[in-house]
Amino acid sequence: MNSLPPSITTGRESLRGFRAWLQDWSELAKARLSLLVLLTTLVGLYCGAAGHLEPWRTFFTLLGTSLVAAAAATLNEWLERDLDAKMPRTADRPLPAGRISPDEALLGGAGMAGLGLGTLYFGVHAPAAFLAAATLALYLFVYTPMKRWTSFNTFVGAIPGAIPPLIGFSAGRGRIEFEGWALFSILFLWQIPHFMAIAWRYREDYRKAGFRMLPCFDESGKITGLVSVLYCIVLLPVSLAPVYFEAAGWLYGAGAILLGFGYTFFAALFAYAPTMPSARNLFLSSILYLPFLLILLVSDYR
């Protein structure tokens, strides 16, 4: 059988190399996590614009926010590349594995940050760019170093994680009102049980890297479980804030109550018996809770 011409062989190798490079950058920028950021930003924008989305504003808001989110993930991994190398879960990431150089990651992350902030500033308005800059600064310069200092890092890290819907709401309405803060509060509270479930499952990895997550100091898991339950309980009434402000109807309200009880149920199971399966179930329930709640909100928004 005749071999392929050298030009075709070289072309195929180049294509495979480009795909691998693209996959590495997608992993470095945490593209899947950016989808969640885009969803919460879009819901905030929809609520802020009272359901009347302007195509150009929507495009620039989502583009700018996604670039800033990708920059935050990339620069976070650049800062923690040596620690990631110590954890089996993260040792094969592009930076510790050497598939992307630190200089390339730093340059790419800084470039995405500048482009994203510029897109929000010139394509949307200054408040949206300010909120995105605050998110980036809190995530990189407060939350990231705090992971090695104190177990309160999770609660601080939930703040930048809850800002994207504020960016969207501000872009849609031009200012932040109670509805925007309600979205921020829902996302903030939702994150704590979500992250507790993750931290419990990977607590040994975090210990190896020197990260001071709460489950690393809670051998029984009871405190971790109790914190998860408490935040789920507080989330229940807070999730009804759009109904209180008459921004959503009782279709959303009924759904929020059912979803909240479900989330609390799995948190309680985890608190009662902190195991890998119960932590995984709490994590999965958190993954289902948020998109369904946001879909209900958009469907029943007034």
pLDDT tops 60 at residue 75: yes
Range 207-245 burial, b when 16+ CB lie within 10 A, else e: bebebbbbbbebeebebbbbbbbbbbeebbebbbbbbee
**CA separation for the pair 160, 258 (Å, rounded):** 27
Domain chopping of the chain, boundaries: 27-176, 177-302
pTM for the whole thing?
A: 0.90
Farthest-apart Cα atoms in the chain, separation: 74
List, for residues 203-260, the tens digit of each pLDDT value: 998 888 888 899 988 888 899 999 999 999 999 999 999 999 888 999 999 999 999 9
Q: What's the pLDDT band for 1 if we cut at 50, 70, 90?
A: very low
* Region 78-100 average pLDDT: 88
- Range with the largest mean pLDDT of 10-14, 50-54, 113-117, 243-247: 113-117
Instruction: Note the CATH number of domain 27-176.
Output: 1.10.357.140
